[in-house]
Structures are given as structure tokens and as C-alpha cells.
Amino acid sequence: MKQTTKNTMIAMGTATAAAGIAVGSTIAAAHVLFRFALDTKKPWSIPNRQPESGNGNNNGNDQAPVRDADDIARSEAWFDEAKQPVTLRSRDGLRLHGWLLDPDCASPTPHLYAICCHGYTGEPREMAKWAHHYAKLGFTVLVPALRAHELSEGRYIGMGWLEHFDLLDWLDLIVKADAQARVLLHGNSMGAATVMMTAGDARLPRNVVAAVCDCGYSSTVRQFTDTAMTMFRLPLPLASLMVMLTSRVCWKHAGYRFEDASCTRALRHATIPMLFIHGSADDFVSPASINRNYTACASIHREKLLVPGAGHTMSASTAPDVYWRKVTGFVRGVFEL
């Protein structure tokens, strides 16, 4: 009996030690994941490696054809020549930078503005194609560099949550300059998440007329969980635990929790017309996100477009005719152009 008790105690002690090591390892991994994904000051982090959000350069799906290479080249040349710098001081003291572009048509409708938001690890220039299309429709276009990207200050990426406060400030800048402004919001990937969280914020100015969201995730918790499962090959329970712990680390260092950055929760309060777009072959943000976001959206006027075979933010390059027919029709209809 004594020997059995001794063996049981040893087994329990071994299991407790193993559990302690596993928990300690998971906590350490959570710190690494936070720095790897969101800390732009770490030279080995993702932001210092390779952009996620593309400008039509076959990003996210190597097999998808790029059918708008000429459009991309023309738009980037126009962007480089026409862009004008503009700056803003964020509510938490960061100097944010953006580029302003005039309408590119003979008789632009007055008071029209579009704000185009790039994605995670991206830059304003990657939005040249979208900015140019809106400029040709008569919009004055603002393409901000999200915090901690390009010329904007900041250390930590906010997954759309911190950025949505910045977008509200950019909107305030426009409305103060033109009280009659009518604004379109467009975002790709994390830029789409930024737009969705802004659309659902009670402080959204009435000047915002509509939004287009391309390849946005449904929540930061789900996005990080999916990434942890695929990138690190973790089972769902362990991935969920790691993400929960990473969220706590993020709260301590960056001032927000992953749970804060939920597009589906924000969209329950959205009232403006919204268009959701996703590529069916997106292997970075699950294509299932489009239905989650569309279903969560409380707007009476909401539309969606799933582009077959398109990778992440590649819908406009995979099926440009389908994409721009849908986007242009939506924008013209909402703005009565």
C-alpha cells in the first residue's frame, strides 16, 4: 500500500511538473508571438520581413493570374506623381502621415472624399490602384499610413482596433475642412478590419456615406487562432490558450486586448451601406470571414462578392471586370453619381 501510494505521488508530481513546464512554455511562446506579429521594433518580427497585403502582385495565391498589371503600373505612376503629404497627431500623441490625391477627372463632384486603408505590414502605395479608381470617379482621396507603418509613428500594430481611432481622427480632419464632405471608406485586409470597426463606432461622423471591405477578418482572436493552428501546427485548445495569453501580453504592452478588435461585434452597430469582398482562395484570412461579417452587419443595405480563385487581396487582379463592376456600381448607387 505504501509503495503504491509512493508511486502515485511520484506520478502526480511528474504530471504536475510536466503541466507546469507546458504552461510555462506556452506563456513564453505567447510573449514571442506578440513580438513576432505586432512589435515593429524587433528585427525578426513579421513587420520587418514580408508584406502581407499586396497591390496586385499575386499576393496570397501564387497560381492566380494577375490580369490588371497595366492598371497597377498606371496607378502607381499616377500615385507617385500626384500624392501630397498630410499629417495628423493621434489622440495618443503619434505623428501619423498620409497622402492626399486630387480627383482625376474633368468635372469632379464637389465634397466627395475617399479614404483607402492598406493592410498589415503594407504601405499607402499598395492602395494606388484603388485610390486611382476612386479619383477617376471624382473623389479626393486620402491614403493614410497606418500607425507603425511607412512614415507614421508607433511601435505596435493595433490589428484595426488602435487604427480605427486614428481613422476617426482622419475623418474629423476632413469634416473640419469641409462640413459638407461625403466620405467613402475602403480597406484591404487589416485596413478592412479598421474600416469595419470604425463603421460600428457610435462616433462615426454622419458624413461617412458607405464602406467597401476587401478580405477583412472577422476578429483578431479568430485570426490569431487560425494562424497559430496553421503556422505552428497547434491543436485548437493549445492555440486558443496561446492566443488568450498573447492577448494579455498585448494589453500590457500595446494597450489593447485581442477581444477588443472584433469586426463582427462592431458591425452589429453599423448603419451605413457596406460592401464585403473576399477571394475564395485566400489562404491568409479565411474566406468564411465574408459570411461572418456580412451576417453580423446590421446595415439595411449590405452586399457581398466572393471572387472564385482569388487569393488574399487579389480579387481585383484575378477578376478585374467583375470586381470593378461591383465596386463602381455600389459606389455610384450609394453616392448617386
In-domain check, residue 131: yes
- Cell (9 digits) for 14: 511528474
Least reliable range by pLDDT among 10-14, 148-152, 326-330: 10-14
Cβ(232)–Cβ(36) below 8 Å: no
Band of the pLDDT at 63, cuts 50, 70, 90? low
Structural domain count, the chain: 1
Nearest to 226 by CA among 306, 282, 308: 282
- Cα separation, 136 vs 40, whole angstroms: 35
Q: What is residue 253's predicted lDDT score, i.e. its pLDDT?
A: 97
How does the average pLDDT of the chain come out, rounded? Answer: 90
| Average pLDDT of span 296-317 | 98
Whether residue 37 has pLDDT greater than 60: yes
pLDDT digits (tens, 9 = 90+) for 234-282: 899 989 999 999 999 999 999 999 999 999 999 999 999 999 999 999 9
Band of the pLDDT at 86, cuts 50, 70, 90? very high
* Cβ neighbour number for residue 45 with a 10 Å cutoff: 17
| Average pLDDT of span 51-80 | 74
Side chain identity, residue 116: C
- Cα separation, 186 vs 141, whole angstroms: 10
- Cα separation, 299 vs 276, whole angstroms: 12
Cβ(272)–Cβ(300) below 8 Å: no
Q: Say which residues have a Cβ less than 8 Å from residue 321's Cβ, sequence separation at least 6.
A: none
* Cβ neighbour number for residue 280 with a 10 Å cutoff: 15
Residue 107 belongs to a domain with what CATH number?
Answer: 3.40.50.1820
| Average pLDDT of span 15-41 | 70
Cβ(278)–Cβ(290) below 8 Å: yes
In-domain check, residue 145: yes
In-domain check, residue 11: no
State residue 191 phi and psi, 5-degree precision: -65, -35
In-domain check, residue 9: no
> Which pTM does this prediction carry?
0.91
Nearest to 232 by CA among 25, 42, 19: 25
Side chain identity, residue 144: P
| Average pLDDT of span 159-186 | 98
Band of the pLDDT at 28, cuts 50, 70, 90? confident
Band of the pLDDT at 65, cuts 50, 70, 90? confident
- Cα separation, 226 vs 232, whole angstroms: 10
In-domain check, residue 208: yes
Side chain identity, residue 329: G
| Average pLDDT of span 94-122 | 97
More confidently predicted of 61 and 131: 131
- Cα separation, 286 vs 217, whole angstroms: 7
Q: What is residue 286's predicted lDDT score, i.e. its pLDDT?
A: 96
In-domain check, residue 37: no
What percent of the chain has pLDDT above 70? 88
Domain that holds residue 331: 59-219+261-335
Query: Crossing angle for the helix pair 320-335 and 128-136, nearest 10 degrees?
Result: 50
State residue 290 phi and psi, 5-degree precision: -65, -40
In-domain check, residue 94: yes
Q: What is residue 303's predicted lDDT score, i.e. its pLDDT?
A: 98
Distances (CA, A) of 179 to 112, 174, 191, 207: 11, 8, 25, 8
In-domain check, residue 102: yes
